[in-house]
Structure 1
Amino acid sequence: MYKKFFLLFFAIGSLSITITNAQDSGPNMGIIPAPVSLKKASGSFTLSRQTVILADSTNNKAVVFLADYLRSKKMLNIKPGIDSNKNTPNSLILTSAGTDSLPAEGYRLTITPQQITIAGKGAGLFYGIQTLIQLMPADGGATIQLPCVQITDYPRFGYRGVMLDVCRHFFSVEFVKKYIDLMAAYKLNNFHWHLTDDQGWRIEIKKYPKLTTIGSQRAQTVIGNYHDRTPQQFDNTPVGGFYTQDQIRDVIKYAADRYINIVPEIEMPGHSEAALAAYPELGCEPTFPYKVSETWGVFHDTYCPSDKTFSFLEDVLTEVMELFPSKYIHVGGDEAPKDAWKKSAFCQKLCKKLGLKDDRNSTKEDKLQSYFIQRVEKFVNSKGRSIIGWDEILEGGLSPNATVMSWRGEAGGIAAAQQNHDVVMTPGSGGLYIDHSQGKLSEEPLNIGGYDLLSKIYSYNPTPAILTPDQQKHIVGVQANLWTEYIPTENKAEYMLLPRMLALSEVAWSPLANKNYTDFANNRLPSHLAWLDKNGFDYHVPQAIGAQDTIIFGSQLNVNLKPSVTGATVYYTIDSYTPREADIPYTIPMTYNVPQDQYRELETIVITPSGKRSRVTSTFVYNKSPLPAVNYQSTASGLKYLLYTGAFNNTSELTAAAAVDTGIAKSFNTSIIRKNNPAFGIIYSGFIRIDSDNVYGFSTLSDDGSELSIDDIPVVKNDGKHSSIEQGGSVPLQKGYHRFTLKYFNVGTTGTLRVYLTIPGKPKGELSPDEMYN
């Protein structure tokens, strides 16, 4: 395994990532996101003090960026000059010449033994420089050896975004800039800055000072997951903070220097408690004791659609648009309950005045929200800008020129595109809510839930096949969202962001044909993670490459692993004890014999040079002959079940509890049970019929934990509190009947349980209890 070296760079306060060396043999040479076209060539170019930099303009932001990088981090003080002779030997050419045919933000990077040429306009030239920096080795002395290559590259989508919520928890200007640096290094170009919400107003508005003196401060914050405690508990710690307009101007310039647009979000008509706490006359109940919210969730207090409210919002948006040059102004529009409007005599009178009535598709209050958003849109349009909002702005009729962010799945985005509106896809179902867990809840820091693995976000395709080619053109981009209810620190924000942001960059930039998760995760990502590790970033450490949670049958345990972070060490055990630094470091492939009727458990962990750790993976290898069929005569379909109530932590706790119900189950659907029992456990038991001797695969998709056994031998271990996760195993079975046992518990409100069987030579199929016997 080759070594890669890493370097932190803050050129004009920015971050650039050097991750590869010329010996990288991968198809994408370690570059993230994968380029459109990359052709390797023989030889290398030597960048040294004798190299000259020639550019169309020495004041170009990208040119200044590169020169400062070479001077600050490579000790190469090369002053750029004007490009008058493109055939100058030993030169680095930065030009826009010959790029008219390139798509927007595209570039060409050509490295020969005699010359480096980066051709691109505006952001394209900057992105070409970012790719060049990724190709630079960090272990050089006075010279830098660069591999010869020809790269033609441009983005798949024009809008490539990441959102940061600074309302639930406030983050410093320095951290915001760090966030922007990471975006720029991976060719993301829109920073969605969520600035107002129920829990805090974070932008200074000169005309309304109480928005920050009152609205930016909350007295305390709910402890832990607010669903878990009754009554709720609080930390008794005040939280505050906002950005002055001078700070915002500074951040906007900082982002613009890295070709990043900032989209400000001012929430309306819901998520407005912080504003109403400062100016209660903007609500439908002016005497109501509004306060900056100390808990999370959806609240029923919204702006009242009065002239006073619209005057306030126009004043606020005027100051916002004077600060932000963004074409898009985000107006929220999500999660706005209409209870206050239904009770309000003013709102009901306004509905009547506007002729709004309930119909099959929407209520008059939904239509009132559409009126609200459209009125704001007309004002924003009058200033030469366009609104963008969450997909709820579709309800009651979409504003004429609005762009939709589709977050509740893809349905809203599909509907908007079919109406010829532009769409940014950002569905949580696509792995784009990066406040969700990256593993089992018991193994991850407190988070909002969900289960969005790196592979899930990487596999997302923002363009739904259901759309026609013309409608697909309205899918202008993709965005990941970092909501911060459970992210009080900058380190945790980095942990939730990384490495999923890198997967997002490839979704947003690279053509579908060039995407390859194995190459991304196993070949390129380890070097980028090592760079993050060396330079003090927090991030989620993936499990060892080649390790997995599963149960298999065989006579040998084969250990063939690779660290998920270059330079990290994989430690492992085979004695069922949790591995740590004192255990066996993996160096070369190993084989352990498993005696007949015994098993070995391989547990692995990745520990990085800075001490960060992956989760522990566990692989069981049983050496057993095919399990013989049992004597079973009945043909009564369905499984017996025992139901238990209580908040369980794992399936082993079920057998110690007392069953409250029993019967025959014809389905694994537990919705009726969940309706009456918010926390419960269930054990299904019976028999399954196997038609031929072979090795069969079983898996469970469950939320929370599940464990499946065949003939009392564990085959699937998917235990513990977690969101929907599928895990599997395999077992050799002889023809005939075999005992089937499934244990499951649930402590949440969703509750998923599905069981799958893979028959050799056939695709995996869902198993139903009515195909089993009791």
Structure 2
Amino acid sequence: QYLLRDTLDQSVYRSVQGYTDNVMNIALPSTYNFISKVVDEMAEMYRLAGVLLKTVHLGGDEVPKGVWEKSPAIAQLMQQEKIATYDDLWYHYIGKANLLLKAKNLQMAGWEEIAMRKVSTADGKSTYIANPDFVNENFQVYVWNNVWGGGNEDLSYRLANAGYNVVLSAVTNYYFDLAYNQNANEPGLYWGGYVDTDKAFYFSPFDYYKTATEDGNGNTLNPNIFKDKIRLTDKGKQHIVGIQSQLWSEKISGAEAMEYMLLPKLLGYAERAWAAEPAWSMETDSVKSWSHYLKDWNQFANLLGQRELPRLQYYAGGFKFRVPPAGVVVTNGKLKANVQFPGLTIKYTTDGSEPTLQSKTYTGELQQHSEIKLKVFVGDSGGKTVCIERP
């Protein structure tokens, strides 16, 4: 009744996660029975909670090359429905899944692939366009792929301009399983760049090229990569329906590790998602825009350091948030330190011991010793120790 694979399928493929058997066979009626059953169960859970289920995200991404190519059931489907290529199977499935959801008065949602169509270019290569077949179907499309330098920086805007409802889910700013920075001691992935609290805060939904600062390696980004990219139109702006942050948990070892990766990034995201569009985002003069941004960031950073992070120590039982380490420079034998968020306390030692709350408090520049260890504290929560040794 709920069989998801063709038992005679000899197709060979491997997903980006390394799986060789994780794709449903879309030629089987039982596959759609399964989807319908899961959706009905979800709707019932919502009903029992007193909430109406309106939208279902069916995923729809990362179908690897080779899928279905040796499936007898797929071969029969392609012959019956006159489906020319394996790529076209994708649009057949999306159409059927959409009809299934519409019959239940539900909106279709998924990753960007549900709104894209593969086409051939004049030079014999292939590219993806906004699929005209579904543009009037009220899909809600979650677009993650804006990797700087990856070629799809403008994908969100292209789909919104075409008429698709887009939820900006940008990897460059809102994949919270990415490491905070390049430091080898920071946990997290780095394939899409690095994400700290400021990146979640300064994301500009209607012109995210404007606030792009770093490439995927953490280096200064060359703004010329956006020169020929599509801009968001007034029509497209009406189809930007939200932003979403993500934390993929396959590399997260437990609750404390999750809280470390989430907080305080999540607070920067909440500010951008719920606050009005800031002046620096709308200002066309770059100098004025930067001035507006510094003012807003200063206010936000102070709120984090002096109010929100201390509160997270005890709110809802307390969270194991990341306490940012001290920033340190040494010039002419003098050590100067700073904190990311005003209000945090730096403790230090010069005898090789680990700084504690009872250690000396940093209040100004220090004469360089053979070794100085510094640690930032929020209440009794300490960050990673920074060790500075004399050359």
State the distance in 2 between where 1:435 and 1:563 align. 20
Using the alignment, how far apart are the partners of 1:619 and 1:513 within structure 2?
40
Contact 2:256 2:320 in 1 (8 A): yes
Which amino acid in 2 is paired with 1:471?
G
Aligned to 2:374: 604
Which residue in 2 is equivalent to 1:539? Answer: 321
- The aligned runs of 1:603-682 (5 Å cut-off) are 603-610=373-380, 612-617=381-386
Matched, 1:467 2:232: yes
Residue number in structure 2 paired with 1:389: 110
- Give 1:310's match in structure 2, choosing from 32, 39, 42: 32
Structure 1 residue identity aligned to 2:41: E
Shift of residue 380, structure 1, vs aligned partner: 0.9
In 2, Cα distance between equivalents of 1:393 and 1:299: 22
Contact kept in structure 1, 2:140 and 2:166, CA below 8 Å: yes
Q: Aligned pair in 2 of structure 1 residues 484, 452: CA closer, same or farther (>3 Å)?
A: same
- Of 508, 517, 531, the residue aligned with 2:297 is 517
Residues 281-338 of structure 1, C-alpha deviations (whole Å, 9 max, x = no match): 32133689xxxxxx95554531111222123322322232333323211110011224
Give the letter aligned to residue 520 of structure 1: F
Alpha-carbon shift at residue 467 of structure 1 (Å): 0.9
Given that 1:527 and 1:565 are in contact with CA atoms closer than 8 Å, whether structure 2 keeps it comes out as: no
Q: Secondary structure at the match of 2:245?
A: strand
- 1:489 deviates by 2.2
Would you say the 8 A contact 1:424–1:478 is kept in 2? Answer: yes
Alpha-carbon displacement from aligned partner over 1:662-694 (angstroms, at most 9, x marks no partner) = xxxxxxxxxxxxxxxxxxxxxxxxxxxxxxxxx
Rounded Cα–Cα distance in structure 2 between residues aligned with 1:522 and 1:449: 28
Superposed CA offset, 1:612-652 (max 9, x none): 3212346789xxxxxxxxxxxxxxxxxxxxxxxxxxxxxxx
Q: Which has the larger radius of gyration?
A: 1
Q: What SS class does the counterpart of residue 590 from structure 1 fall into?
A: coil
Unaligned runs of 5+ in 2: 11-15, 47-51, 118-130, 147-152, 209-230, 281-292
Which amino acid is the alignment partner of residue 57 of structure 2? Answer: H
C-alpha contact (below 8 Å) 1:403/1:424 kept by paired residues: yes
1:203-214 aligned at under 5 Å gives the runs none
Runs of at least 4 residues off by over 4 Å: 295-300, 561-566, 599-603, 618-621
1:486 matched to 2:251: yes
Aligned-residue offset at 1:563: 8.5
SS in 2 for 1:570: strand
Q: How many pairs does the alignment contain? A: 318
Matched, 1:369 2:90: yes
For normalisation by structure 2, the TM-score amounts to 0.70
Structure 1 length-normalised TM: 0.37
SS in structure 1 opposite 2:347?
Answer: strand
Q: Distance in 1 between matches of 2:44 and 2:115?
A: 28
Higher helix share: 2
1:401 is matched with: 138
Verify: 1:590 aligned to 2:364, yes or no: yes
Go from structure 1 to structure 2 and tell me whether the alpha carbon gap of 1:563 and 1:387 turns closer, same or farther (over 3 Å shift). Answer: closer
Which of 307, 330, 340 is matched with 1:527 structurally?
A: 307
Mapped partners of 2:71, 2:165: distance in 1? 34
Q: Distance in 2 between matches of 1:352 and 1:590?
A: 77
Instruction: From the superposition, tell whether residues 298 and 435 of structure 1 become closer, same or farther in structure 2 (CA, over 3 Å).
Output: farther
Give the aligned CA root-mean-square deviation in angstroms. 3.3
Q: Tell me what 1:412 maps to.
A: 155
CA contact (8 A) 2:197 2:267 kept: no
Distance 1:591 1:432, change over 3 A: closer
- Give yes or no for contact 2:301–2:340 (8 Å, CA) kept in 1: no
SS across alignment from 1:348? helix
Q: Distance in 2 between matches of 1:563 and 1:314?
A: 49
Paired with 2:260 and 2:331, the residues of 1 have a C-alpha distance of 36
- Measure the CA separation in 1 of the matches of 2:95 and 2:177: 31
The structure 1 residue matched to 2:180, chosen from 425, 438, 442, is 438
Match of 1:737 in 2: none
Higher strand share: 1
Alignment of 1:92-491 (within 5 A): 281-285=3-7, 296-297=17-18, 299-305=20-26, 306-324=28-46, 325-357=52-84, 364-396=85-117, 397=131, 399=134, 400-409=137-146, 410-429=153-172, 431-440=173-182, 442-445=184-187, 447-450=188-191, 451-464=194-207, 466-491=231-256
CA–CA distance in structure 1, aligned partners of residues 303 and 8 of structure 2: 59
Q: Which amino acid aligns with 1:367?
A: D
* CA distance in structure 1 between the partners assigned to 2:156 and 2:203 by the alignment: 15
Q: Percent identity among equivalent residues? A: 26
How far apart, in 1, do the equivalents of 2:89 and 2:306 lie?
51
Alpha-carbon contact 1:541-1:565 (below 8 Å) kept:
no
Q: What do the CA deviations read for 1:49-89 (whole angstroms, capped 9, x no partner)?
A: xxxxxxxxxxxxxxxxxxxxxxxxxxxxxxxxxxxxxxxxx
Report the CA distance between 1:601 and its aligned residue: 6.7
Residue 372 of structure 1 and its aligned partner are, at CA, apart by: 0.6
Deviations 1:537-557 (A, max 9, x none): 11111224xx34x5x543644
Aligned to 2:382, the other structure's residue is in SS state coil
Contact 1:282 1:309 in 2 (8 A): yes
- The answer to whether the 8 A contact 2:115-2:164 is kept is no
CA distance in 2 between partners of 1:519 and 1:591 (Å):
25
Report the residue type matching 1:402 in the other structure: F
Pairing 1:554–2:332 present = yes
Gaps of 5+ in 1: 1-207, 209-278, 289-294, 358-363, 622-713, 715-774
Task: String of CA shifts for 1:167-211, please: whole Å, max 9, x gaps.
Answer: xxxxxxxxxxxxxxxxxxxxxxxxxxxxxxxxxxxxxxxxx8xxx
Q: In the alignment, which residue of structure 2 is the partner of 1:508?
A: 273
Q: Is this contact kept in 1: 2:169–2:245, CA < 8 A?
A: yes
Counterpart in the other structure of 1:732: none
- Map of 1:117 onto structure 2: none
CA distance in 2, matches of 1:309, 1:417: 30
Relative to 1, partners in 2 of residues 1:557 and 1:525: Cα closer, same or farther, differing over 3 Å? closer
Decide whether aligned partners of structure 1 residues 282 and 604 sit closer, same or farther in structure 2, where only a CA change above 3 A counts. Answer: same
* Deviation per residue, 1:713-746 (Å, 9 max, x gap): x9xxxxxxxxxxxxxxxxxxxxxxxxxxxxxxxx
Tell me: CA distance 1:497–1:593, structure 2 relative to 1, closer, same or farther (3 Å).
closer
2:216 alignment counterpart:
none
Q: Contact 1:432–1:479 (CA<8 Å) still a contact in 2?
A: yes
Q: Does 1:570 align with 2:346?
A: yes
Counterpart contact for 1:388–1:404, Cα < 8 Å = yes
Q: 1:416 to 1:538 in 2, by over 3 A?
A: same
| Counterpart position of 2:356 | 581
Query: 1:582 and 1:505 mapped to 2: Cα distance?
Result: 31
